[in-house]
């Protein structure tokens, strides 16, 4: 593994590239934000909103996919209060929602928006989660499907063409440049950015695992014909306003957004992914697959924003990252319907052995708690 000379992202991060100076595309794109004419971009946003605004006020102006987190709270505030639109918030209700997650979603609604909360069939959701864990190393797979598919289904059902997502992943995390383009959400876009096709899985192929297409309906996109008929279009708000996570965090706190009292396992912050309990296991599997987790994401952002030195970030990574989450471990095993031994077997299945220490027999070297050690320490 080699690491960015500026932040702490490793070259194992999917879709990340490095320049000849050893600086990653996330840092390069962050610097590009200073060269963008944001006044012009905001005018472009106004033009888009004017185009899609309900002409007679009989319908919603746009859809905002929301979790109740800091980003969607800011999106809702900005679109409702700053831009004066009448948005419809759409929430996929997670089965393992936390109390603080419920509270933050209620605070978001009090900004003054209607909200559709879609509660999926818990039996199907759990079955998909268990499949995701065992076959993809992602227990939150149904959530990752539904946060893309449900808003698009609502857009088609209620004839609301415009969907406004939050941060621009290209500018914040160094993803490919074409994800930034304004786009009609056709099958090409959808397959690149979310849903079954992102994981190279055909929905009809899920029948051999005991799923019917009827059961999978919430996790599938409308057909191309319906999407084109409505003219569904998705944009990133972060493509049109200068996204500043930390300034926005201070703002949403004044709107009722609450942080955790304690830090979550796997990181040092109190403000990220507060709505579900089992996010920490998704982060741990990310560490097994790519050699980094959520702490790396967070400190890399703080380094780019000038809030932290690289050395401070490295110390936080060593302190928080790469440990098996234990706080909700028993609850996770029960929900996944697996034993602790089966958990470790699944972990081993998705661990990239090229990144971690192994013995002479090629077996992963683990400490007494089952934790691994990276071959290359971050420097």
The pLDDT tens digits for 348-364 are 999 999 999 999 999 99
- The total number of structural domains in the chain stands at 2
pLDDT < 70: residue spans in the chain: 175-200
Residues 138 and 178 in one domain: yes
Domain annotation covers residue 355: no
pLDDT computed for residue 179 by the predictor: 45
Q: For residue 203, how many C-alpha atoms fall within 13 Å in the half-sphere facing its CB?
A: 15
pLDDT computed for residue 256 by the predictor: 94
Residues 106 and 210 in one domain: yes
Residues 86 and 209 in one domain: yes
Torsion sign across C-alpha atoms 344, 350, 356, 357: positive
Domain annotation covers residue 356: no
Domain annotation covers residue 310: yes
Structural domain including 124 reads: 36-239
Residues 160 and 265 in one domain: no
Domain boundary among 177, 208, 239: 239
Domain annotation covers residue 223: yes
pLDDT computed for residue 96 by the predictor: 79
Domain annotation covers residue 321: yes
Mean pLDDT of the chain: 89
Domain annotation covers residue 362: no
Domain annotation covers residue 323: yes
Q: Which of 197, 253, 185, 192 is nearest to 222 (CA)?
A: 185
pLDDT computed for residue 33 by the predictor: 86
Q: Are 195 and 149 in contact (CB under 8 A)?
A: yes
Residues 184 and 312 in one domain: no
Residues 85 and 198 in one domain: yes
What is the token pair recorded at 290? 């790519």
Residues 94 and 215 in one domain: yes
Q: Which of 321, 343, 325 is nearest to 333 (CA)?
A: 343
Residues 90 and 132 in one domain: yes
Residues 61 and 178 in one domain: yes
Residues 318 and 210 in one domain: no
Domain boundary among 208, 239, 270: 239
Distance CA 329, CA 326 (A): 5
Domain annotation covers residue 266: yes
Domain CATH code at residue 42: 3.40.50
Q: For residue 68, how many C-alpha atoms fall within 13 Å in the half-sphere facing its CB?
A: 26
Q: What is the pTM of this model?
A: 0.91
Show the DSSP H helices in the chain as ranges. Answer: 25-32, 38-52, 70-77, 99-109, 122-136, 141-157, 169-173, 187-193, 213-216, 224-230, 245-253, 279-290, 294-304, 310-320, 329-336, 340-350
Residues 213 and 345 in one domain: no
198, with CB counted inside 10 A (0-12, 13-18, 19+), is: middle
- Backbone dihedral angles phi then psi of residue 135, each to the nearest 5 degrees: -105, -25
Residues 230 and 265 in one domain: no
- Backbone dihedral angles phi then psi of residue 90, each to the nearest 5 degrees: -125, 125
Distance CA 97, CA 349 (A): 28
């Amino acid at each position: 593994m080699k690491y960015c000379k500026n932040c702490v992202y490793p070259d194992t991060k999917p879709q990340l590239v490095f320049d000849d100076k050893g600086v990653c595309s996330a840092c390069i794109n962050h610097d590009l934000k200073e060269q963008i004419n944001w006044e012009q971009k905001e005018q472009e946003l106004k033009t888009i909103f004017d185009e899609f605004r309900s002409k007679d006020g009989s319908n919603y102006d746009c859809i905002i996919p929301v979790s109740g987190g800091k980003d969607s709270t800011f999106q809702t505030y900005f679109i409702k209060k700053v831009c004066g639109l009448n948005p419809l918030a759409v929430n996929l209700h997670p089965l393992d929602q936390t109390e603080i997650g419920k509270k933050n979603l209620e605070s978001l609604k009090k900004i003054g928006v209607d909200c559709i909360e879609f509660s999926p069939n818990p039996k199907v959701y759990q079955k998909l989660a268990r499949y995701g864990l065992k076959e993809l190393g992602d227990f939150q797979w149904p959530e990752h499907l539904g946060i893309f598919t449900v808003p698009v289904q609502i857009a088609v059902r209620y004839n609301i063409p415009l969907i406004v997502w939050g941060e621009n992943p290209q500018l914040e995390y160094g993803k490919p440049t074409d994800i930034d383009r304004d786009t009609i959400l056709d099958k090409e876009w959808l397959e690149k950015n979310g849903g079954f096709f992102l994981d190279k899985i055909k929905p009809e192929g899920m029948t051999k695992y005991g799923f019917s297409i009827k059961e999978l309906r919430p996790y599938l996109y409308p057909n191309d014909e319906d999407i084109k008929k409505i003219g569904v279009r998705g944009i990133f708000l972060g493509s049109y306003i200068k996204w500043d996570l930390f300034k926005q965090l201070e703002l949403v706190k004044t709107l009722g957004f609450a942080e955790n009292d304690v830090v979550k396992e796997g990181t040092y912050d109190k403000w990220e992914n507060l709505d579900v309990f089992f996010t920490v296991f998704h982060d741990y599997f990310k560490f097994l697959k790519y050699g980094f987790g959520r702490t790396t994401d967070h400190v890399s952002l703080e380094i780019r924003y000038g809030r932290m030195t690289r050395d401070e970030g490295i110390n936080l990574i060593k302190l928080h990252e790469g440990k098996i989450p234990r706080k909700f471990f028993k609850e996770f095993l029960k929900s996944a319907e697996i034993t602790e031994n089966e958990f470790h077997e699944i972990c081993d299945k998705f661990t990239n052995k090229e990144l971690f220490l192994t013995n002479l027999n090629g077996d992963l070297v683990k400490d007494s708690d089952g934790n691994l050690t990276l071959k290359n320490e971050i420097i």
